[in-house]
Chain A
Amino acid sequence: MTRKRKLGRGVSVVGAGMSPFGLFVDRNSTDLFIEAFQEMLGSVDKGFEPNDIDALYVGNFTNDVFVQQSHWGAILVDALGLTPRPATRTEGACASSALAFREAVFAIASGFYDIVLVGGFEQMSKQSTEQVAEGLALAASPYEREAGFTYPGVFGAIATAYFDRYGATREHLMNVTIKSHENGRLNPKAQHQRSIREIMSSRIEKAASKGESPPDWQDEKEFLGDPKANPAIAWPTHLFDCSPISDGAACLLLVGEELTASFTDTPIHVRGLGQASGRNLHTADDLTSFEATRFASREAYQMADLSPSDIQFAEVHDCFSIAEILHGEDLGFFEPGTGFKAVEEGLTRLDGPKPINTSGGLKCKGHPVGATGAAQLIEVWQQLRGAAGERQVPARDLRFGAAHTMGGTGGTCTFTILERR
């Protein structure tokens, strides 16, 4: 194991904002990021002067391909009226802005900067599903692409290995989906704000209004088991196992810990950081576990002097429903092979002992990939401040929350523990 990590200077989050996540074909990356920036400005309790920002770190994955435009650090600094401040773009597939957050923390902890804007964004909705699938597969290994694997396919294969090893079934994936939708309906920024029940009711009404015989689903699992309502994308991955194609942007304001008093009386502090790199499907030592999640979380727990049981709630990278189950085990929240039972027993519900993805997760909040890491950290920040509205974790005295972000098929994983003192 590596030596225990530490920061040379404490770093705190004093503001954050995000655009709604969804399909916004008439808005571009800059529009979305400005909206997130505007909300961030309003979120700083005691206000602050944007020109005090020292630098920008921003994550984005696919704009080079989908928008045919690179060099987004400088473009955003100009759009935000922050020239000539330095800007650095980070790329780590779906963990791009989680890496931006880390770089911003390091820049402040080193003493080089005091106030740093960190964020991420992605615009995907102008592409066809096939184009998005191919573009995202840029983060897979060449061998996986050659074998025809798409992302839903990689996670479908992982699911078959997990099912075979531990006796889980598709029904257990459905439990994740149902829970995500219950949370997403409480998040005004989420792309999908309806429970599975509400989706069923609306489809039944729609069929009736067209004079068609309405489907007679008895419960959510019958709906999710209906191939017309929930077709296979890459069996056993079905449509409702997949996070959506999304547009969106998110940003946070980070400052040196000793400076927080002039921004807010409720700063949230960086308590633990971990990042690791993993192998490919065919070289991984275990198909039912993400080694990079294991290493990243161990590093963060060690730095924070905390254990998995100390983390009161977490955002976990649920690009596909099987991923939330596996990562929950790799983060140490549940023993290997028991993550699917934990979801089934309701342990990860908003009112359970270990709420996971209170935002609705990538599945319902949306997954504009470059914005995802930043948006997960915003959810943790809001929950710790007691500002998550209807989806506020009911437990009192929230002190520790965490965000886990994955890029690729486990190639890049980060785990960040935030603290309210």
Chain B
Amino acid sequence: MTDHAISDSAFAAFLKQGQLKGSRCTACDVVFVPPRGMCPQCHKADMQWTPMAGTGRLLAFTCIAIGPPWMAALGYDREHPYCSAVIELDEGPRVVARIEGVDTNRPENIRIGTRLVLRQDASDGGDDAPACLIFTPSLHTSD
């Protein structure tokens, strides 16, 4: 699967198969998730797909009570907020993603630094919902 051209659609297709992949600049050895077709550091387009473990830690989050229509269609509202977050993957890159499995009505209990793991059935919602990464707190506290 590594011969797919670097693109957002290939990224989304991998994700639907439960695989989180980024692109690695063969010159700078820096990894980007979601993938970038050109390295913003050296401006070369020699990028390779590289698999990510799908584990990381919480850097920043919010519990959103008023979301866009496609999130409202999934049942989220003032009584049922959803959590969006910035996550630092263990390989270094940061991603924006949704977090499930946290109590969004008790956001003060959600801790920065919480260990997270990518949910395998990450393609949530119907056809109208954009491809989205979804993480949950890791059950292995020793991670």
- Which residues of A are at the interface with B, using a C-beta cutoff of 8 A? 129-130, 133-134, 137, 142-150, 152-154, 156-158, 160-161, 164, 231-237, 280-283, 287
Contact = CB atoms under 8 A, between A and B. Distances in A.
A158 B59 CA distance: 9
Given A235-B62, A282-B95, A283-B94, A147 B112 contact: no
B137 to A, nearest CB: 16
A148 B86 contact: no
Contacts of B133: 147
A232 B62 CA distance: 10
B130 A146 contact: yes
Contacts of B112: 160-161, 164
A150 B67 contact: yes
A14 to B, nearest CB: 43
A150 B62 CA distance: 10
Interface of B: 8, 34, 59-69, 71-72, 78, 81-82, 84-86, 93-98, 104, 107, 112-113, 130-133
Contacts, number: 114
Given A157-B85, A287-B60, A233 B65 contact: yes
Nearest to A164: B112
Given A143-B34, A147-B132, A157-B84, A282 B96 contact: yes
Contacts of A130: 66, 68-69, 72
B94 to A, nearest CB: 4
Contacts of B86: 157, 161, 281-282, 287
Given A150-B68, A161-B86, 14 more contacts: A130-B72, A147-B98, A152-B66, A160-B60, A161-B112, A231-B78, A233-B66, A234-B63, A235-B62, A235-B64, A236-B62, A282-B95, A282-B96, A283-B94
A25 to B, nearest CB: 21
B63 to A, nearest CB: 4
Contacts of A235: 62-65, 81, 104, 107
A134 B63 contact: no
B19 to A, nearest CB: 17
A149 B84 contact: yes
B32 to A, nearest CB: 8
Contact of A158 (B60, B95, B131): B60
Contacts of A147: 84-85, 96-98, 132-133
A137 B64 CA distance: 14
A161 B78 CA distance: 23
Contacts of B67: 133, 148, 150, 153
Contacts of A283: 94
Contact of A160 (B61, B65, B69, B95): B61
Contacts of A145: 68, 130
B62 A157 contact: yes
A194 B78 CA distance: 27
B69 A134 contact: yes
Nearest to A146: B130
A146 B132 contact: yes
Nearest to A147: B96
Contacts of A146: 96, 130-132
A92 B34 CA distance: 25
A378 to B, nearest CB: 31
A299 to B, nearest CB: 21
A155 to B, nearest CB: 8
Contact of A232 (B65, B72, B82): B65
17 contacts: A133-B67, A145-B130, A148-B68, A148-B98, A156-B63, A157-B62, A160-B112, A161-B59, A161-B112, A164-B112, A231-B65, A233-B66, A235-B64, A235-B81, A236-B62, A236-B107, A282-B86
A133 B68 CA distance: 7
Nearest to B8: A142
B60 A153 contact: no
A144 B112 CA distance: 19
Q: Which of A130, A144, A232 has the most CB of B within 10 A?
A: A232
B96 A156 contact: no
